[in-house]
Chain A
């Protein structure tokens, strides 16, 4: 069991230590990622960012009712997703996981359909609010809005994997505020008792809507909570996609080897308000937000790849143009797609009603 305290200073929002955090940039030596994979990770972050920004615009235009943003979380989510055997391992997400879902194969059109509550959106057929994920083809499990309900599910999936002797692992995500819930402790405790193949990724963006992390916990890091439950707890810079990848991959490898679960805390910053219904000016200064934009995970990854000669400026610009064009195409397709018919609201309530296509 080990604890990495390097992010503890950054948890104190009153004095966010940007220079300290910058020292971790590119701390991915030894992770052996190919240039192509690193570029793909950057591309996934970029596409998620452009989708997210477009969603905010759609909301301002009155074209969608709600958006919950992942801007600032892209490194955490993409780093973690790329540590999985995607499509083989299982994922139990939460609502701030747009970049994770893009990495799991949700297309821009599918995301846009979800934003608009269209019939063919893959999460719920228009039943759930946007960003309430489910993608059966990618082993991404449906979740709800009450926080931490998904954590015991991840433990149960881990239990079933172990019972069947499969070589899969489960990644489940959550915000730091939600680790205050009893459901989080009970789920993590189960996984620890039975050494289940689960990685509990905590996306610590330092705010639970308006409540700072010091209103959620007396410890410096969520990783410390793992110590009390008897499993590995580790904290990583959640703005550094390659650092997150390495840390989560180690946790995934431990789980797959049968060495049990881990709590991985990735510390980042939610650059946007909690949701389109939130006004973050009521609880944090513009100066603080501007300061944290210097730790924008997308810019950090871009700068690192260019400086290391793994990406050139032209290619980066071409990627950006391509992402924007894909997003526009997706929005156009989604706008023209049909809504569900009212009578679809009747079901399926029970499994007997499900038509397997």
Chain B
């Protein structure tokens, strides 16, 4: 099996889905000749033509809004928002329209579409190329929210997202696009939307993470293992709908829960994971649920010392593991 980067896995998924279903098309900024600012769509314009790989105006709400219209007609758009930080103009279209159309029409209309956006920091992107926006959308029934952590997950989850009859948000950890490499099988496969996965089995505490923080958490778990702390790592993969069973089973098994996320601490997605465990696994816990997250400042600053202060890393995660293990 070949090792490829995460962005190559994403490109392969879109290539295969474009070939599989003529209703699938891509729309976004600079996705044509430029192949996307991260090259996720490289070569697809040449292969599928400008009718199916559409360079949009610089106007995010209409990337989503036009996608919704096409989906209502029976097409299956994959909308690319160049950076998750730029998704906010489309918030109304995603939250008030895409998420609610099935419910508000009593099922007469559905919106099969994918919205992809690179998220997260650590790449020198400053306030507006570093944000984690998943918690805004993981609050909204009608949406599904997916975040891959490896090339294998990225390809399999994106292919499932394209075959899903609902609006699916796929947030991709941009720092991992080229940094995270992994084996991806040659043949056809998908990964179902919904289930989390145990990426490292352990007995002393459970660490819940997704995306880039999952990558760092696995590294941190190895360091902790050398110190005699056996960490179970759960890759959440799908944030909404959340896989309660896997989360609760792991928390009950180890009796200690650490939730790691890159977003601001307050109201971030990890707060929901922590609440689930506190509400349903309290009597199995040996310690309070812990959250390790970004600080509550508006966004990630640009200058390296400031960015490094904001951004989590394996060392910070190991430190949190030690604290919780010693409770």
Chain A CB within 8 A of B74 CB: yes
Whether A159 contacts B66 in the complex (CB less than 8 A), given A149-B96, A153-B72, comes out as yes
Total of A-B residue pairs, C-beta within 8 Å = 137
Partner of A189 from the list B57, B74, B112 (CB cut-off 8 Å) is B57
Chain B CB within 8 A of A163 CB: yes
Chain B CB within 8 A of A1 CB: no
Contact present for A193 and B69 (CB under 8 Å) = no
Contact present for B51 and A163 (CB under 8 Å) = yes
Binary interface encoding of chain A residues 172-185 relative to chain B, with 1 for a CB under 8 A from any of its CBs, else 0: 00000000001100
Chain B CB within 8 A of A102 CB: no
Contact present for B69 and A351 (CB under 8 Å) = no
Smallest Cβ-Cβ distance to B108: which chain A residue = A136
8 Å CB interface, A153-201 against B: 153-161, 163-164, 182-183, 186-187, 189-190, 193
Binary interface encoding of chain B residues 51-81 relative to chain A, with 1 for a CB under 8 A from any of its CBs, else 0: 1100001010110111111111111010000
Q: Is the interface of A mostly helix, strand, loop or mixed?
A: helix
Chain B CB within 8 A of A134 CB: yes
Cα distance A167–B317 in the bound complex, in angstroms:
59
Q: Mark the stretch among B37-45, B99-107, B128-136 that contacts chain A.
A: B99-107
Chain A CB within 8 A of B203 CB: no
What is the minimal beta-carbon distance from B299 to any residue of chain A, in angstroms? Answer: 23
Q: Number of B interface residues, CB 8 Å?
A: 42
Partner of A157 from the list B73, B102, B141, B165 (CB cut-off 8 Å) is B73
Whether A152 contacts B66 in the complex (CB less than 8 A), given A124-B105, A136-B105, comes out as yes
Binary interface encoding of chain A residues 119-147 relative to chain B, with 1 for a CB under 8 A from any of its CBs, else 0: 00001110110001010100001101010
Partner of A156 from the list B51, B65, B101 (CB cut-off 8 Å) is B65
Interface size class of A (residues with CB under 8 A): 35 or more
Chain B CB within 8 A of A23 CB: no
Contact present for B67 and A156 (CB under 8 Å) = yes
Contact present for B65 and A152 (CB under 8 Å) = yes
Whether A187 contacts B65 in the complex (CB less than 8 A), given A142-B101, A157-B70, A351-B102, comes out as yes
Residues in B whose Cβ lies below 8 Å from that of A151: 65
Contact present for B68 and A132 (CB under 8 Å) = no
Contact present for A182 and B61 (CB under 8 Å) = yes
Chain A CB within 8 A of B97 CB: yes
Residues in A whose Cβ lies below 8 Å from that of B72: 141, 153, 156-157
Contact present for A163 and B75 (CB under 8 Å) = yes
With a 10 A CB-CB cut-off, give which of B72, B77, B141 has the most chain A CB atoms: B72
8 Å CB interface, B133-155 against A: 141-142, 144
Chain B CB within 8 A of A348 CB: yes
Whether A183 contacts B57 in the complex (CB less than 8 A), given A142-B109, A163-B25, comes out as no
What is the minimal beta-carbon distance from A138 to any residue of chain B, in angstroms? Answer: 11
Contact present for A144 and B107 (CB under 8 Å) = no
Contact present for B59 and A186 (CB under 8 Å) = yes
Whether A351 contacts B166 in the complex (CB less than 8 A), given A134-B105, A141-B109, A187-B62, comes out as yes
Whether A349 contacts B142 in the complex (CB less than 8 A), given A154-B69, A156-B70, comes out as yes
Name 24 interchain pairs, CB-CB below 8 A, sorted by A. Answer: A124-B105, A125-B106, A127-B104, A132-B104, A134-B105, A134-B109, A141-B109, A149-B96, A152-B62, A156-B67, A163-B25, A163-B52, A163-B75, A183-B65, A183-B92, A183-B93, A186-B62, A189-B62, A193-B57, A347-B103, A347-B107, A349-B142, A350-B102, A351-B110
**A positions within 8 Å CB-CB of B:** 90, 92, 123-125, 127-128, 132, 134, 136, 141-142, 144, 146, 149, 151-161, 163-164, 182-183, 186-187, 189-190, 193, 347-355
**B positions within 8 Å CB-CB of A:** 25, 51-52, 57, 59, 61-62, 64-75, 77, 89, 92-93, 96-97, 100-110, 112, 141-142, 144, 165-166
When A and B form their complex, which 8 residue pairs have the shortest distance between CB atoms, in order from nearest? A156-B69, A152-B65, A125-B106, A354-B107, A160-B73, A351-B165, A186-B62, A153-B69
